[in-house]
Chains A and B, each alone.
Chain A
């Protein structure tokens, strides 16, 4: 009987924690959507801002965030995955690889504002890319790299060696083994890491602050060497820096809702890709 009570108590503890976490998530989502959904109209997501941000929409910020995330992906995913493949598949374990791994984990802990400063020094000034969506995307890419490398390496580690031996014993080279068996098998794990990282990067404000984001741009920026608007920064400005904060509050909540929905969409796409991949093997 005592054992039963204890296991019930454990269950309550675990289930309770889960419920509390979900509850907070629910409250946050409810708060944002209840105040924000009413401002989301077709006009809100398709029009340019007007009248000093008090009217109009957030179209340039949506496009800015999508373009920014795209550049981040293009830069961080190939380099991150390649680096993880090297560390896990090619590099022989040594003091040096351990130092590299420790450094990568430390990089993941650096505050994002420092990446912003670094991006300003490196991309904006040294590389002369100017304050632009390209500089900001590359900066966010740097921020994302440690996470992508770490999660990809974890995904690669989960592939049993017997899978690698199967193709190697057939006379496949190590590269063929990685390309044809290891990476396809690890893809769901890699994708999960990539999407979580990019969702986080899409919502970052600090790294893009110095490197290219603008509060307001007249018209739509279409070139990657121009400044741009982005949802998180727009939200930050509307909720703290605007001269008539009370008036634009619904717009701020609307922006927050759009950002959440956008990230949600990323995740649905990733879920779909994972699902398609699972059903294949």
Chain B
């Protein structure tokens, strides 16, 4: 039995009066890649963003149910949201480097979380190495991050997340704005990162989901229709909807 890192139990999420997520129960196993797939608007990203409390920013979002990181209740008001976001990192759909240098993009999070000053250069370097960006940027760490290519920017965003040594990395369609070669590099990176991190990724690309996932959740209209190993979802889905979706019949 897999060890559970992150879970949602009886999760309902509303925007105003509209129910976006309907009674979601899901367990993400530790140090594996879990993909969330489903047609646009099915609530994949909404589900992903509820784990690091990104919905706190939307005044009309309302959440019911229990979300847990290990035994920690993510929405318990006693727990600091900044500490939770330090443990659950996030990579977004469009690369969003900070308007700072490459180096500062990584040192920023370390500074705000008060890492000892003398350890920061070393941590930045190892995070860049871990994200396979070091060789490409080691001579231009002082250059503005926006000067990098889109694919490099996205790997920088991953490095920026990794530098904090989170336990979980949430990825919201991290390759959708990238060319095939850059996406391939990100995929390779995800395969390496899963040794140390629990990864949850939202993707529209079925081939990608099949290549990288250990487990796959198929969502439709705010419900988690099927959750199983990647093999079962793609080769032997139990649900008719799943079968049609992964077969490319709709979505």
Residues on A lying within 8 angstroms of B by beta carbon are: 92-93, 162-173, 176, 180-181, 184-185, 280-281
Which of the residues A93, A163, A171 comes within 8 Å of B85, measured between beta carbons? A171
Interchain CB contact (< 8 A) of B109 among A163, A165, A171, A281: A171
Q: Mark B154-180, 1 if CB is under 8 A from A, else 0.
A: 000100110010000000000000000
Residue B52 is within 8 A (CB to CB) of chain A in the complex: yes
Contact B57 A171 (CB under 8 A): no
Tell me which residues from 37 to 86 in chain B have a Cβ below 8 Å from any Cβ of chain A: 52, 54, 57, 59, 82-86
A166 with B98: CB separation less than 8 A: yes
Besides A164-B57, A281-B144, A281-B146, 18 other A-B contacts (C-beta < 8 A): A162-B92, A163-B96, A165-B54, A166-B157, A169-B92, A169-B161, A170-B85, A170-B86, A170-B89, A170-B108, A170-B164, A171-B112, A171-B113, A172-B108, A176-B112, A180-B98, A180-B108, A181-B99
Are B99's CB and A184's CB within 8 A?
yes
A125 CB, nearest partner CB in chain B, Å: 43
A-B contact pairs, 9 of them (CB 8 A): A162-B92, A162-B96, A166-B92, A166-B97, A169-B54, A171-B83, A171-B85, A173-B112, A281-B100
**With A162-B92, A173-B82, A281-B146 as given contacts, are A167 and B108 in contact (CB-CB < 8 Å)?**
yes
Which of B59, B85, B144 is the one whose CB lies under 8 Å from A168? B85
CB distance A172 to B112 under 8 Å?
yes
A172: nearest chain-B partner, CB-CB: B112
Q: How far is the CB of A209 from chain B (nearest CB, A)?
A: 44
Closest approach, in angstroms, between the C-beta of B165 and any C-beta of chain A? 12
Compute how far the CA of A280 lies from the CA of B142 in the bound complex, rounded to whole angstroms. 10
Query: Please, which residues of chain A bring their CB within 8 A of the CB of B96?
Result: 162-163, 165-166
Q: Which residues of A contact B157 (CB under 8 A)?
A: 166
Q: How far is the CA of A173 from the CA of B98 in the complex (A)?
A: 15
User: Which residues does chain B contribute within 8 Å of A185, judged by CB atoms?
Assistant: 99
Give the complex CA separation of A167 and B113 in angstroms.
Answer: 12
Chain A residues in 8 Å Cβ range of B83 = 171
CB of B216 within 8 A of chain A? Answer: no
- Of A163, A180, A280, most buried by chain B (CB within 10 Å of CB) is A180
| A240–B88 CA distance with the chains assembled, in angstroms | 70
Question: Which residues of chain B from 71 to 127 have any CB-CB distance to chain A below 8 Å in the complex?
Answer: 82-86, 89-90, 92, 94, 96-100, 108-109, 112-113
Number of A-B residue pairs, CB cutoff 8 Å, is 68
Contact status A169-B52, CB under 8 Å: yes
Most buried by B among A162, A169, A281: A169
**Are A170 and B160 in contact, with the CB atoms below 8 A?**
yes
Q: Collect the chain A residues with CB atoms within 8 Å of residue B57's CB.
A: 164-165, 168
Q: Is the CB of B94 within 8 A of A162?
A: yes
State A240–B90 Cα separation when bound (angstroms). 67
Residue of B nearest to A93 (CB): B59
Shortest distance from the beta carbon of B120 to any chain A beta carbon, whole Å? 14
Which residues of chain B are within 8 angstroms of A171 by Cβ–Cβ distance? Answer: 82-86, 109, 112-113, 164
Residues of B within 8 A of A181 (CB): 98-99
On chain A, the residues within 8 Å of B109 by CB distance are 170-172
Closest residue of chain A to B160 (Cβ to Cβ) is A170
Give the shortest distance, in Å, between A138 (CB) and chain B (any CB).
34
CA distance A185 to B98 in the complex (A): 9
Q: Kindly provide the distance from the CB of A34 to the nearest chain B CB, expressed in whole angstroms.
A: 45
A169 in contact with B112 (CB, 8 Å)? no
Asked if B161 and A170 sit within 8 Å, CB to CB, the answer is yes
Q: Is the CB of B108 within 8 A of A280?
A: no
Residues of A within 8 A of B90 (CB): 165, 169
Least distance between A86 CB and chain B CB atoms (Å): 15
B106: shortest Cβ distance to chain A, in Å? 10
Whether the pair A167, B92 counts as a contact (CB closer than 8 A) is no
Q: How far is the CA of A90 from the CA of B92 in the complex (A)?
A: 23
- The answer, among A168, A172, A281, for a CB contact under 8 Å with B99, is A281
Whether B82 pairs with A172 at a CB distance below 8 angstroms is yes
User: Closest residue to B113 on the A side, CB-wise?
Assistant: A171
A94 to chain B: closest residue by CB: B59
- Give every chain A residue within 8 A of B161 (Cβ-Cβ): 169-170
B223: shortest Cβ distance to chain A, in Å?
A: 26
A105 to B205, CA, bound (A): 48
User: What is the CA–CA distance of A117 and B122 in the complex, to the nearest angstrom?
Assistant: 62
In the bound assembly, the distance between CA atoms of A164 and B56 in angstroms comes to: 13
Residues of B within 8 A of A176 (CB): 112
A57–B219 Cα gap in the complex (Å)? Answer: 79
- Chain B, residue nearest A184 (CB): B99
CB closest residue in chain A, given B85: A171
**How many angstroms from the CA of A162 to the CA of B97 in the assembled complex?**
9
Complex Cα spacing A167 to B100, Å: 12
**Contact residue among B85, B99, B113 (Cβ-Cβ distance under 8 Å from A169):** B85
Give B192 Cβ to nearest chain A Cβ, in Å: 21
